Amino acid sequence: MNIGIVGAGIVGLAVAREVARTRGATVTVLDKEDRVGAHQTGHNSGVVHAGIYYQPGSLKARLCREGMALLRQYCAEHRIPYDEVGKLVVASTAAERPGLRRIAERARANQVPGIAELDALALREVEPHTVGVAAVHSPHTAIADFPAVARRLALDVAETGGSVLLSHPVRALRETASGVEVLAGSRRLRFDRLIVCAGLGTDTVARMAGGAGDVRIVPFRGEYYALAGASKDLVRGLIYPVPDPRYPFLGVHLTRRIDGEVLVGPNAVMALALEGYSWGDVDLTDLRRILAWEGTRRLAARHWRTGVREVLGSMAKGSFLAAARRYVPELTRADLVRTAGGVRAQAVARDGSMLDDFAIDVHGRVTLVRNAPSPAATSSLAIARHIVGLTSVLTR
């Protein structure tokens, strides 16, 4: 078979490799950018999640656990940096203890290995500069170089005879009786099947396929500060707040990255363009579409207070500092320097709810990955197995 994949992010490349490896198919990956991993894959926290938070039985819970094991092995085989630095979810007040207890229960329900509940003293043995009344420790939560994984996956695709065509934006597609015709850049290509892993571009390609469906991507920017100089030594691994169960994003946390930087963030503000990496990035066509979606308006009506707080926080270094000092009080204003952020592709349903789980739609010969937010980088190799295993995706 001749399979086309839209998107050379970590998910599209993992799918391409899996299709080529297990089905002997010829694969062609198309991306509009001039490099692989240009969007979410190259702009994230770099955390290999162990699967603590997710609804037991969900795709996220299963594919995160499987994906972590596959990724660890893949990184070892290809000598890609991967480090089990461990993660603490910290309750900073007694009022957060019940939430922390629920996290521990959920982690056990998801069979996350090595989970331990720590008191205030024990948590300082793991992170000596962190304060809190209690914590949940996940020793196998790791950090990895996701862009390096994406680059290696692209090499795997090439080694199986497939191609990764960069600077090839998909502009139009048409399903015919025998396949899918795609206009990418200035080339016309024909595939037996097309699998769309286009992240922030998902809706655009879904519309071309006639499968707009009942969800839309709403872009949520995550902004970060980085710790400067010696303040990096105050954090050994990953320090997270007890998450608010009403929101899928995990709250500002401290993250050691594989290159030695320590990030403070990300927050979550609605971006003013699908690829809105800063407040200056405004695309009126994107914005009109995002605001015209009933789901966006309902989401805004429900969560406007949080939205306003996040926007004000986005402007103020003090809010990041306060969030970080809650866990590491030795940090000062001078320790935080602004650094690049990323934009999450979050699917929002018509009723204004944010899709929690990974979502995949099969629309004739076109398979659309509709929602692949965090932990999709962690889960990418397992998502690929899952998609290739869906009989409707690759049978003629």
Ligand X SMILES: Cc1cc2nc3c(=O)[nH]c(=O)nc-3n(C[C@H](O)[C@H](O)[C@H](O)COP(=O)(O)OP(=O)(O)OC[C@H]3O[C@@H](n4cnc5c(N)ncnc54)[C@H](O)[C@@H]3O)c2cc1C
Residues that bind ligand X (CB under 6 A): 6-12, 30-33, 37-41, 43-47, 49, 169-170, 197-201, 204-205, 222, 266, 342-344, 372-378
Where does residue 187 rank: exposed (0-12), middle (13-18), buried (19+ CB within 10 A)?
exposed
Give the residue with the Cβ less far from ligand X, 38 or 59: 38
Give the residue with the Cβ less far from ligand X, 74 or 134: 74
Give the residue with the Cβ less far from ligand X, 134 or 168: 168
Give the residue with the Cβ less far from ligand X, 103 or 200: 200
State the Cα–Cα distance between residues 370 and 275, nearest whole angstrom. 17
How distant, in Å, are the alpha carbons of 37, 64, 176, 200, 276 from that of 373?
Answer: 14, 12, 31, 10, 16
Which residues lie below 8 Å from residue 205, measured CB to CB, with a gap of 6+?
6, 170, 173, 196, 198, 368
How distant, in Å, are the alpha carbons of 68, 80, 378, 379 from that of 76?
Answer: 12, 6, 15, 16
Distance from chain centroid for Cα 28? 23
Collapsed DSSP state (helix, strand, coil) of residue 345: strand
Look at the block and give the residue holding tokens 């001749």.
2
Q: How do strand 82-83 and strand 47-48 relate by DSSP bridges?
A: unpaired
How distant, in Å, are the alpha carbons of 14, 108, 297, 319, 394 from that of 89?
Answer: 30, 14, 32, 20, 41
State the Cα–Cα distance between residues 164 and 152, nearest whole angstrom. 12
Neighbours of 330 (CB within 10 A): 11
Do 157 and 29 form a contact (C-beta atoms < 8 A)? yes
Give the residue with the Cβ less far from ligand X, 33 or 117: 33
Collapsed DSSP state (helix, strand, coil) of residue 59: helix
| Least distance between ligand X and beta carbon 134 (Å) | 24
Give the residue with the Cβ less far from ligand X, 134 or 299: 299
Which spans in the chain are helix H? 10-23, 59-77, 97-109, 120-126, 146-159, 202-208, 284-292, 294-315, 317-325, 376-389, 391-394
| Least distance between ligand X and beta carbon 249 (Å) | 9
Give the residue with the Cβ less far from ligand X, 201 or 313: 201
| Least distance between ligand X and beta carbon 94 (Å) | 29
**DSSP character for 354?**
B
Give the residue with the Cβ less far from ligand X, 51 or 179: 51
Give the residue with the Cβ less far from ligand X, 334 or 337: 337
